[in-house]
Chain A
Amino acid sequence: MSTSSRVRRTLVAAALATGLAVTAACGTAGPQEAGGGDELRLWTLQNEGINTVQQAAVDGFNAEGGPQIELTTYLNDPYKSALQTAIGSPNGPDIFYNWGGGNLKGYVDAGQVADLTAALDADPEVKETFIPQVLETGTIDGKVTGIPMQGVQPLSFFYNKDAFAEAGVTEFPTTWTGFLEAVDQLKAAGIQPIALAGAQTWTSMMYPEYFLDRIGGPEKFQAIADGEPGAWRDPAVIESMRMVQDLVDREAFGTNFTAVDYDNQASQALLTSGRAGMELMGSWQVTSLNDNFPDFLEQDKLGWAPFPAIEGGAGDPANVIGNPSNYYSVSAGSANVEAATEFLMNGMTSPEYVQGMLEKGQVPALTGIEDQVASTGPFADFNTYTYEQTKAAPTFVQSWDQALPAAEAQTMLTNLSKVFTKEFTPEQFADAMDTASR
């Protein structure tokens, strides 16, 4: 899940520093030697809460007496390296966690992923259980290669109700004009309008993601992800970057956002202390705030709202951006593709799995679970909001850094950070990305 991907970056860096990058990557259990078809290896990310739910699903499957699945967990960055090098080898996984989209496409293009389309078509009841917009991100070149296995993670604004009241903003604005007014009001009240952990660019990236979608519609980013020539030079891209710099000029993020770190909860501290009014973040924010600033939630100071509509834009304001979900895929080289597929189709849709995930603050990407979402766990209200928003979204655009191939994503983050520091004009950004994507 992306939460841990970000939060754990520091820890991972620490592991790297001591040169243990790949060797220390192994979590609970080391991979076994290549066995027959009765042993399936499942690789996933380390996350104490969610791992217990996953283990329960595995145990349930194993109890049926068929092929046995063994769960292995990894830290985020070491996992990426380990998977990249181990997949397809005899020691590689049979079922592996991934981020869908461009991340998954790399493995599909290398011929390492089993096509699950036929299996899903044969069981339409299960297929229709998945929210289509989310299943879409696990579908590469028309073939279903990834099954959603974790919660949906759309990006929303999280705001401090007290700070808004102090600035005289009664409701979270639904239009961009209204949003800019709110920014000015907050600023006039001596409150930094938006907390932004700009030391990491993936946080900054959320703004242009929404701008581009609201202004030009999801087709604009789709063209970029498809590698269409000139897609980065689209006027909507340039306009999005201009809007970014407009926010910077207004000091909507304050003046020192480039030094604010997400991993040490600095931006959350700004938000919860009332020094900043709001923060754009993924749905994991609520779990994270609950862990780090429980009083803030207990005192009912947290508000949330979708990204405002931009007047005159071509995009549907109901569209959302974020991580549609994370996915499990089956290795093409697995000795028992059938068993792995069966586990994914039934395990990921079972009521026990849904219940377990909801209790951990994750909303599975399944249809028809309204009642369960509204009645389960400490975050039922927020989970319902997330669930309804996701279901109602015409498109769910995947975060740019995960939708693009790794090299292009890395260049995009670097160039984008220069837009935020104003070392790049919007046009320079478009040119640089156009060159990089060729």
Chain B
Amino acid sequence: MSSATAVRAGRPGFVWVAPALTFFGLFALLPMVVVVYLSFTAYDGLNPPQWVGLENWTRLGADPLFIETLRLSFLLTAASWVLQTAVALPLGVWLARRGRSRALLAAIFFIPLLMSSAAIAVLWGTLLDPNFGLASVLGPLVGIDDGNIIGDSRYAFAAVILVIGWQYMPFHTLLYQAAARAIPVQLYEAARIDGAGRWRTFRSITVPQLRDTIITSGVLIVVGSMTTFEVVLILTGGGPGTSTRILPLHMYLEGFRSFDMGYASALAVVLLVIGTALSLFIARVTGYRKMASQREGM
């Protein structure tokens, strides 16, 4: 044990992290190893897994649904990032300033954060009901006369992105609110003395100061969107047709409806690799790991 170095640095020894490491090993690493193993087997949960070599992996290339679901997952990720950041950042900054009306609005706005994903999906499913829900009222206003939003492959995916956005925007707003409050007031005072306007201060002070938060929030959105699942399962079940079948849902249906656990495991490994690669990529490209202070002159 390297407790000597740890003690010298004045930090707790290895033993302190042992419980966390054990849990991580048992409930994260071990399942990952098992899933990689299963991806090389044919397994229906009933008969013992049978080694089939690369069969599941070559099947990936021949499965048109795999390409389609992968494309949809990337699309969902990109759209979620743009939409959620575009709304959450300005809103968070606005909410960061004190004021009774802002506090009240913030409290209302954060309500989606308190609801479970399943509840949100059921709620929106009811609202988007074409005959008895809000869709029958709002649909005609946007040119969808029969209220058929989640039942039309042209609109269903957009509806899913909006519902997921509605669910997670409050969380990211909260991140931005906290980060914006941490920006030293002196920076703004100095800028005002220099004659900078509101837009200029936002662009030259607020956004650069929020850099780390933008990246953190971005990583969370990217990884979250790649693995998002329950809202889509309950809201559209992947339909109509396969127009909202994203990769995690495809994995679930293959594993737990078709009982094709081997192939589902291969899909799970793909998800794992993509999710990890994406978050590492974001961290690298943005220089996040350096975590340099942006408070110049402070």
Instruction: Enumerate 20 A-B pairs (CB-CB under 8 Å) in ascending A order.
Output: A10-B122, A13-B233, A14-B118, A14-B230, A17-B116, A17-B229, A80-B256, A84-B44, A106-B44, A255-B146, A256-B146, A256-B151, A257-B151, A259-B128, A261-B125, A261-B129, A269-B131, A410-B254, A417-B241, A418-B242
Identify which of B129, B230, B233, B241 contacts A260 (C-beta below 8 A): B129
Verify B45–A199 contact, CB threshold 8 A.
Answer: no
Q: Which of A77, A81, A414 has the most CB of B within 10 A?
A: A414
Whether B46 pairs with A199 at a CB distance below 8 angstroms is: no
Write the nearest CB–CB distance from B138 to chain A, whole angstroms: 13
Chain A interface residues toward B at CB < 8 A: 10, 13-14, 16-18, 21, 77, 80-81, 84-85, 87-88, 106-107, 110, 112, 198-201, 254-261, 264, 266, 269-270, 275, 406-407, 409-411, 414, 417-418, 421, 423
Asked if B153 and A423 sit within 8 Å, CB to CB, the answer is yes
Q: How far is the CB of B108 from chain A (nearest CB, A)?
A: 25
Rank and list the top 9 A-B pairs by shortest CB-CB distance, nearest first.
A259-B151, A258-B151, A256-B148, A17-B230, A14-B118, A256-B130, A407-B258, A84-B45, A258-B240
Contacts of B152 in A (CB 8 A): 258-259
Q: Are A17 and B256 in contact (CB under 8 A)?
A: no
Verify B46–A107 contact, CB threshold 8 A: yes
CA distance in complex: A421, B125 (Å): 20
Measured between beta carbons, the chain B residues less than 8 angstroms from A110 are 46-47
Tell me, rounded to whole Å, the shortest Cβ–Cβ distance linking A274 to chain B. 12
CA distance A77 to B234 in the complex (A): 14
**Looking across the interface, which residue of chain B has its beta carbon closest to that of A269?**
B132
Residue numbers in B under 8 Å from A17 (CB-CB): 116-118, 229-230, 233-234
Closest-by-CB residue of B relative to A413 is B257
B126 interface contact, C-beta 8 A? yes
CB-CB under 8 A for A270 and B258, given A16-B233, A417-B241:
no
Q: Is B149 an interface residue (CB 8 A)?
A: yes
Complex: chain A residue closest to B45, CB-CB: A84
Contacts of A417 in B (CB 8 A): 239-241
B226 at the interface (CB under 8 A from A): no
Q: In the assembled complex, which residues on chain A have CB atoms less than 8 Å from the CB atom of B146?
A: 254-256
- Give the chain B neighbours of A264 by CB distance below 8 A: 125-126, 129
B147 CB within 8 Å of chain A? yes
Q: How many whole Å from A154's CB to the nearest CB in chain B?
A: 25
Which residues from chain B sit less than 8 Å from chain A, CB to CB? 44-47, 116-119, 121-122, 125-126, 128-132, 135, 146-153, 229-230, 233-234, 236-242, 253-254, 256-260
In the assembled complex, the CB of A415 is this many whole angstroms from the nearest CB of chain B, namely 9
Inter-chain contacts of B117 with A (CB < 8 A): 17
List 4 additional A-B contacts (Cβ < 8 Å) besides A21-B256, A81-B45, A409-B258: A10-B118, A17-B233, A258-B151, A414-B241
Cβ of A259 and Cβ of B118 under 8 Å apart? no
Pairwise interchain contact B148-A421, C-beta atoms closer than 8 A: no
Instruction: Say whether A258 contacts B131, CB under 8 Å.
Output: no
Residues in chain A near residue B131, CB distance under 8 A: 256, 260, 266, 269-270, 275
Q: How far is the CA of A81 from the CA of B256 in the complex (A)?
A: 7
CA distance A362 to B253 in the complex (A): 31
Alpha-carbon distance between A417 and B156 when the two chains are bound, in angstroms: 14
**Residues of chain B with a CB closer than 8 A to A270's CB:** 131
Residues B151 and A77 in contact, CB atoms below 8 Å apart: no
- Distance of A107 Cα from B229 Cα, bound (Å): 30
Contact residue among B150, B233, B234 (Cβ-Cβ distance under 8 Å from A259): B150
Enumerate chain A residues within 8 angstroms of B151, measured Cβ to Cβ: 198-199, 256-260
Candidates A112, A201, A260; contact of B130 at CB < 8 Å: A260
A266-B118 CB under 8 A given contacts A259-B151, A259-B152: no
A269–B129 alpha-carbon span in the complex (Å): 12
Question: Which chain A residue has the least Cβ–Cβ distance from B153?
Answer: A421
Partner of B236, one of A14, A107, A199, A260: A199
Q: Which of A21, A266, A421 sits near B241, CB closer than 8 Å?
A: A421
| Cross-chain contact B237 with A84 (CB below 8 angstroms) | no
**Which of A14, A77, A269, A406 neighbours the largest number of chain B CB atoms within 10 Å of its CB?**
A14
A residues within 8 A CB of B129? Answer: 259-261, 264, 266
